């Protein structure tokens, strides 16, 4: 959500600073362990699991920290984990109300607090969640069970993955719907195909655009593809329509395409220019995600225009239509 926050905003900057200095994630992330917490072996295994997480570069490299009942017990026991159940019970008695937020009343369940810094990219959040869950799956608690991490970050990753999957599906649906519409307009699947090919070419270039601009792939950036399918195809529609009108007027194929570009090219450039000019205003909105969105949209609109004016005539000539 920080990508949607205003850049250089004092509140945002302070939140990021506090996260870096104190390890606060700004959201709740927990790992639940269900086992007999009065058993020293359980406490030891919880601590060992935490240590494996702390030593994993995928997790520690992102500044993730952990706090559990095992950490508290070890600290109170002079840096050592108790081996004797009686000593462990004495420590619990000394802690009393200080651990009531970490364990339940009968010491059968505990929560491990996971502090994940704010400002991590979605890819980093996903890597952290997957790494933590991988270690959890490979950890065996004596007579108990460890549940996967849950909380703000885990939910964000799950929602993002779901939206990403749905967006890819909607992209294919939008392409099919646009193709069907073009068939109705031109009454020909061939002309519909030739009109939509430049847009497909532009969509294939989107990953290159993102890499060249240093923008990560996200639900926002991938949604641009569906937008371009609907808006960018207009340029090709005008060219094909004018080309078919030239054919009906008795012009040969090359002359018909030449006049189509000559008579519609300038209008298409003007239309694209006004659209780009309007989008440039978004750049002055001090929100990084919107600025990235604007840059990708402008690039793909420009490529859609170039595809209609240059790629389509070459495609028609190649096909000998």
The reported pLDDT for the residue numbered 10 is: 62
Contacts with 236 (C-beta within 8 Å, 6 or more apart), sequence order:
195, 196, 198, 199, 304, 307, 308, 312
Domain annotation for the chain: domains and CATH numbers: 2-148 (no CATH), 161-319 (1.20.1640.10)
Question: Radius of gyration of the chain from Cα atoms?
Answer: 29
Instruction: Transcribe 193-229 into DSSP letters.
Output: HHHHHHHHHHHHHHHHHHHHHT----HHHHHHHHHHH
Contacts with 179 (C-beta within 8 Å, 6 or more apart), sequence order:
192, 193, 196
Three-class secondary structure of residue 54 per DSSP? helix
The reported pLDDT for the residue numbered 256 is: 86
Structure tokens at 90: 């004495």
The reported pLDDT for the residue numbered 5 is: 53
C-alpha distances (whole Å) from 269 to each of 7, 42, 201 are 33, 70, 19
The reported pLDDT for the residue numbered 262 is: 83
Per-residue pLDDT tens listing for the chain (321 residues): 555 555 555 655 555 555 555 555 556 899 999 999 999 999 999 999 999 999 999 999 988 999 999 999 999 888 899 999 999 999 988 887 778 888 988 889 999 999 988 778 888 899 999 999 999 999 999 999 999 999 888 988 888 888 778 878 888 888 999 999 999 988 888 889 988 988 988 888 888 888 888 887 776 777 788 888 888 888 888 888 888 888 888 888 888 888 888 888 888 888 889 888 888 887 777 777 778 888 888 999 999 999 888 888 888 877 655
Report whether 111 contacts 102 (CB < 8 A). Answer: yes
The reported pLDDT for the residue numbered 27 is: 67
The reported pLDDT for the residue numbered 211 is: 85
C-alpha distances (whole Å) from 78 to each of 51, 71, 75, 81, 83 are 18, 11, 6, 9, 13
The reported pLDDT for the residue numbered 57 is: 93
Report whether 308 contacts 239 (CB < 8 A). Answer: yes
Map 7-26 to HEC letters: CCCHHHHHHHHHHHHHCCCC
pTM of the model: 0.68
Place of tokens 């090359």: 254
The residue among 100, 110, 20 whose CA lies nearest residue 65 is 20
| Separation CA 82–CA 61 (nearest Å) | 30
| Separation CA 252–CA 237 (nearest Å) | 20
The reported pLDDT for the residue numbered 23 is: 53
CA angle, 146 as apex, 140 and 148 as ends, to 5°?
125
Rounded to 10°, the helix 312-319/189-213 angle is 140
């Amino acid at each position: 959500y920080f990508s949607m926050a205003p850049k250089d905003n004092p509140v945002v900057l302070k939140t990021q600073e506090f996260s870096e200095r104190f390890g606060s994630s700004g959201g709740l992330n927990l790992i639940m362990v269900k086992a007999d917490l009065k058993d020293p072996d359980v406490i030891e295994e919880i601590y060992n699991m935490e240590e494996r997480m702390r030593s994993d570069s995928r997790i520690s490299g992102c500044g993730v920290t952990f706090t559990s009942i095992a950490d508290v017990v070890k600290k109170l026991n002079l840096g050592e984990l108790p081996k004797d159940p009686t000593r462990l019970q004495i420590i619990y008695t000394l802690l009393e109300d200080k651990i009531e937020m970490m364990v339940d009343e009968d010491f059968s369940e505990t929560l491990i607090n996971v502090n994940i810094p704010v400002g991590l990219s979605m890819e980093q959040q996903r890597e952290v969640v997957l790494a933590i869950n991988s270690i959890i799956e490979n950890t065996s608690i004596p007579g108990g069970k460890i549940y996967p991490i849950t909380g703000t970050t885990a939910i964000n990753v799950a929602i993002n993955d779901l939206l990403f999957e749905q967006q890819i599906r909607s992209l294919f649906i939008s392409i099919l719907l646009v193709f069907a519409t073009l068939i109705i307009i031109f009454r020909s699947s061939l002309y519909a195909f030739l009109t939509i090919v430049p847009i497909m070419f532009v969509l294939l270039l989107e990953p290159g655009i993102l890499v060249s601009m240093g923008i990560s792939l996200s639900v926002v950036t991938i949604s641009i593809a569906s937008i371009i399918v609907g808006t960018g195809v207009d340029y090709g529609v005008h060219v094909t329509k004018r080309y078919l009108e030239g054919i009906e007027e008795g012009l040969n194929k090359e002359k018909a395409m030449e006049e189509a570009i000559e008579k519609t090219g300038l209008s298409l450039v003007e239309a694209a220019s006004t659209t780009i000019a309007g989008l440039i205003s978004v750049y002055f909105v001090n929100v990084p995600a919107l600025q990235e969105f604007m840059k990708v949209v402008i690039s793909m609109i420009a490529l859609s225009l170039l595809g209609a004016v240059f790629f389509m005539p070459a495609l028609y000539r190649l096909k000998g239509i």
